[in-house]
Amino acid sequence: MLSWKLSLGVAIIAIMGTLNPAMSQNPANCRITLSGRVVDEKGGPSTYASIQLLENQQGALAGEDGRFTLRNLCPGQYTLLCTRVGAEELKLSFTLVKDTTLTLQLVETGVTLESVTVAASEIRGQGGQAAAELSGSDLEAGQGLGLGESLKRLPGVTTLNTGATIAKPVIQGLHSNRILIMNNGVRLEGQQWGTEHAPEVDPFIADQITVVKGAGSVRYGADALGGIILVDPRALPHRAGIGGVVFAQGLSNGRTGILSGILEGRLPGAKVPLSGRIQGTVKRGGNLQTPDYFLNNTGVKEYNFSWALGWQGDNWQTDTYYSRFYTELGILSDAHIGNLTDLNNAIARGRPLTDADFSYNLGRPQQRILHELVKVRSQLKTGDQSKLDLTYSRQFNRRQEYDAHKAFNQLGAEITDPSILFEITTHRLESDWKHAMGPNTHAHLGGNVMLQRNTTDRGALLPDYSADQAGFYWTAIHRKLPQPFEFEIGLRYDYQALHAGIQGADTLNANRYFSGGSGSLSMVYYFKENLRLRMNTGTAWRAPHVSELFSEGVHHGSASYETGNASLVAERAWNTSLTLEWNQEKRWNTTLTVYYNLIANYIFLEPAGTPRLTIRGAFPAFLYAQANARLMGLDWNAELKLHRQLTLESQVSLLRGWNRKLQDHLIFMPPDQFRNGLKMNLPATIHGEESFVRLTVQNVLRQSRTPASGDYAPAPAAFTRLDLEAVRTLHWGAQPIEVGLAVNNLTNTRYREYLNRFRYFTQEPGRNIILRVKVPFGIRAEAPKMENNSLTH
């Protein structure tokens, strides 16, 4: 991480030309890029600010969008000076070791002299792994549709849907327990094992979402065979005053309304360095509509709330964070089926039995999900280059599923009695010590302990169980100039103890112990400062989940009888990827990733051949089995400037999954897809905010590589979908209002997605017109003049 020092409210004398360069190294080996964005107090771009590095006199002028780039920098200690007419100067000292992105927040000169704020963020320490980020209007455009849907904009990321209301992210073909979701720095411990269990995260909390693809990020834990999704809220405000953002969205399909807001501030003065934020989201939607019919009972309610408090000492900082996610999701009534005959009848119909009307009513079947997170994080500066980070978190997850049928003994009862109820309580304690090992090597040493209790009420699909885990890791990143290499190594060891207690009426009393190492080795090779190759090879493992070991029963909605396999062993992935990044400023920007992921003892559901007979008739039976599997593919992302205002955007995701034991394709692998778009930039507003119109064409091929058995219907046909999007910032007096208008599925195309489990029953939703408004606001508090202050991040 970048160590930086900040000077507040002190006038800087320009001393250009008087200082010697910080380091006199061979310029050919100085390849570091420092880029960033200058923003105003409201987070909007601050145009045409001047950026100077005092040590070597290198400078740049931020563009209309506030962005700037400084290239060919040698590593070393720098002082950056950011100036702009009408704003206070900003001075920032830091050590540059690798490519770094900064956000510089300028404060307009007011009547009083106020403290300036700097928020600095480093490019994610992704090492050699492929990663993609989503922020700004790209993130906001999808937030109203949910976390999974917003991530679909990234190459290599798709979703596994259960109807139109439940979407799980899929990274390079892997999902559920094979990926990790880090919700504000805490590993999400929800009900990710189920394919119809969406991530329990409010997408409006996120200021930035990063997807790290492939195995090897040892810092966040075992299990990440497919990758990691980092959902990060913005940092607490560093300057006195109060401000925030209001988001309002209306979606035509489902007649959905969303209101979300952030209110944050910091007390004035240095005596009580306390900052805080409250955030909340309310979402309400009704029945969704396909081009031909409404989907009965597909509404949604969502009420999310979070708060954060931060206290900043001289060389330490403590943050407390609480978030509560609550949703009620309707499940398409026609998708709830009793047995194999019902399923075949439904597939033969291929559409809901009756045409529903629009309604906000949420009936059965339904899911109600609650997720709470409490986190206390303390950071202590332990030296010039070192920092200790301690985090305690508690998560509580409650998942209530309401069957289509009320319980027979609950006649007349309201919808208060779930058919099945899962609860998880998780405590985690984590530590991370960042330190320097010599001038060219930075390392992290850390560990964690987790205690988890899971209970299942009503129904015996899963046993009650406890899962306890401990792990520790070490990572180091090394770069010594003039070598054009950067190396990163990561090692991790985890131990897990699983105790499965009671399953329905049976006492299992089964104990399972798993342990294993994870590791990664990566290298970045800089051909040129803007052309680099990332090579990563990593290994990760995942203990079988209780659902895979002990589940016994009919899986809701899928009409399959699933039997666990108590003798499963851990699965292990060996993942290798190559990523080539080539950015030619103002001309093109392209990233190509190829990956090869070998998973030993891959756990999958194997069709049992003979159906299971019950009093409700026959159900297709599946057994959890293991085999060696191979996933390989290609993700490509490119932006090519065709003309001054016109950019071609292109994405390709290809994937092949193979089961080596069965000598057959893996089931439910994302089909090959292509996304091409034209983005036309309109003249920026006088304040410099970006305006654009974008037309995207998405082509998804038919998944022709499906296994011989295991699915109930053949893969759906290929389709082409058109999306239109426009973003512009309006000004009402001094108040900026960002307005986005999007039309998803512009031509109201009828199509079905292979990775939607409800494709048997219905088409995908039709045209959806989304209007979104973002209103940042801020009130500056009178702050007394501050002395020099410094802190370390």
Site for other proteins (CB under 8 A): which residue of 320, 466, 530, 691? 320
Site for other proteins (CB under 8 A): which residue of 138, 372, 468, 711? 372
Which residues lie closer than 8 Å to 773 by C-beta, 6 or more apart? 246, 247, 248, 249, 737, 738, 739, 740
CB of 333 to other proteins, least distance (A): 8
Q: Which stretch binds other proteins (CB under 8 A): 235-243, 609-617, 637-645, 699-707?
A: 609-617
DSSP letter at 557? T
| 394 touches other proteins (CB under 8 A) | yes
Q: Work out whether strand 617-619 and strand 621-641 pair parallel, antiparallel, or are unpaired.
A: unpaired
| 411 touches other proteins (CB under 8 A) | yes
Query: What span, in angstroms and rounded, lies between the C-alpha atoms of 361 and 256?
Result: 13
Q: Work out whether strand 621-641 and strand 560-563 pair parallel, antiparallel, or are unpaired.
A: parallel
| 345 touches other proteins (CB under 8 A) | yes
Going residue by residue from 225 to 264, which x/- string records binding to other proteins, judged by CB under 8 A?
Answer: ----------------------------------------
The answer to whether the beta carbons of residues 89 and 12 sit under 8 Å apart is: yes
Site for other proteins (CB under 8 A): which residue of 408, 643, 686, 779? 408
Q: Is 766 helix (H, G, I), strand (E, B) or coil?
A: coil
Q: Cβ–Cβ contacts within 10 Å for residue 410, how many?
A: 11
- CA nearest to 297, candidates 415, 423, 417: 415
Query: What span, in angstroms and rounded, lies between the C-alpha atoms of 585 and 327?
Result: 43
CB of 377 to other proteins, least distance (A): 12
Going residue by residue from 561 to 590, which x/- string records binding to other proteins, judged by CB under 8 A?
Answer: x-x---------------------------
Q: Is 176 helix (H, G, I), strand (E, B) or coil?
A: helix
Q: Please list every residue from 439 through 498 that binds other proteins, using CB under 8 A.
A: 453, 455, 457-460
Q: Please list every residue from 531 through 560 that binds other proteins, using CB under 8 A.
A: 552-554
Which residues lie closer than 8 Å to 567 by C-beta, 6 or more apart? none
In order of 338, 340, 401, 411, 517, the CA distances from 616 in angstroms are 7, 10, 20, 20, 45
CB of 316 to other proteins, least distance (A): 9
In order of 491, 550, 558, the CA distances from 175 in angstroms are 23, 20, 18
Residue closer to other proteins (CB basis): 61 or 407: 407
Q: Cβ–Cβ contacts within 10 Å for residue 28, how many?
A: 10
Structure tokens at 84: 């702009």
Residue closer to other proteins (CB basis): 133 or 464: 464
Q: State the maximum Cα–Cα separation within the chain, in Å, rounded to a whole number.
A: 89
Site for other proteins (CB under 8 A): which residue of 421, 470, 608, 695? 421
Residue closer to other proteins (CB basis): 486 or 562: 562
Q: Cβ–Cβ contacts within 10 Å for residue 162, how many?
A: 24
Per DSSP, helices labelled H in 201-266 are none
- CA nearest to 256, candidates 782, 771, 692, 783: 771
Q: Please list every residue from 77 through 116 that binds other proteins, using CB under 8 A.
A: none
Q: Which stretch binds other proteins (CB under 8 A): 33-41, 56-64, 416-424, 651-659?
A: 416-424
Site for other proteins (CB under 8 A): which residue of 52, 79, 159, 419? 419
Site for other proteins (CB under 8 A): which residue of 108, 292, 314, 355? 314
Which residues lie closer than 8 Å to 733 by C-beta, 6 or more apart? none
Q: How many residues bind other proteins (CB under 8 A)?
A: 59
Going residue by residue from 498 to 517, which x/- string records binding to other proteins, judged by CB under 8 A?
Answer: ------x-------------
| 357 touches other proteins (CB under 8 A) | no
The answer to whether the beta carbons of residues 620 and 594 sit under 8 Å apart is: no
| 309 touches other proteins (CB under 8 A) | yes
Site for other proteins (CB under 8 A): which residue of 64, 122, 342, 529? 342
| 414 touches other proteins (CB under 8 A) | no
Amino acid 511 reads: N
| 785 touches other proteins (CB under 8 A) | no
| 338 touches other proteins (CB under 8 A) | yes
Residue reference for tokens 């008087």: 18
Q: Which stretch binds other proteins (CB under 8 A): 145-153, 315-323, 468-476, 588-596?
A: 315-323
Taking phi over 0 as left and psi of -120 to 50 as alpha, with beta for the rest, 74 belongs to beta
Site for other proteins (CB under 8 A): which residue of 376, 470, 718, 726? 376
Residue closer to other proteins (CB basis): 405 or 731: 405
| 31 touches other proteins (CB under 8 A) | no
Cα-based angle 246, 251, 255 (whole degrees, multiple of 5):
115
Structure tokens at 753: 């997605």
| 790 touches other proteins (CB under 8 A) | no
The answer to whether the beta carbons of residues 41 and 243 sit under 8 Å apart is: yes
Q: Is 204 helix (H, G, I), strand (E, B) or coil?
A: helix
Q: Cβ–Cβ contacts within 10 Å for residue 566, how many?
A: 14
Q: Please list every residue from 263 through 292 that binds other proteins, using CB under 8 A.
A: 270-271, 273
Query: What span, in angstroms and rounded, lies between the C-alpha atoms of 651 and 479?
Result: 32
The answer to whether the beta carbons of residues 157 and 170 sit under 8 Å apart is: yes
Site for other proteins (CB under 8 A): which residue of 113, 123, 374, 741? 374
Q: Is 29 helix (H, G, I), strand (E, B) or coil?
A: helix
Q: Which stretch binds other proteins (CB under 8 A): 80-88, 286-294, 400-408, 570-578?
A: 400-408
Residue closer to other proteins (CB basis): 526 or 760: 760
CB of 606 to other proteins, least distance (A): 17
Q: Which stretch binds other proteins (CB under 8 A): 390-398, 591-599, 637-645, 655-663?
A: 390-398
Q: Which stretch binds other proteins (CB under 8 A): 310-318, 539-547, 630-638, 767-775?
A: 310-318
Residues that bind other proteins (CB under 8 A): 270-271, 273, 309, 311, 313-314, 318, 320, 322, 336-339, 341-342, 345, 353-354, 370, 372, 374, 376, 394, 396, 398, 404-405, 407-411, 417, 419, 421, 423, 425, 453, 455, 457-460, 504, 552-554, 561, 563, 612-617, 619, 787, 789
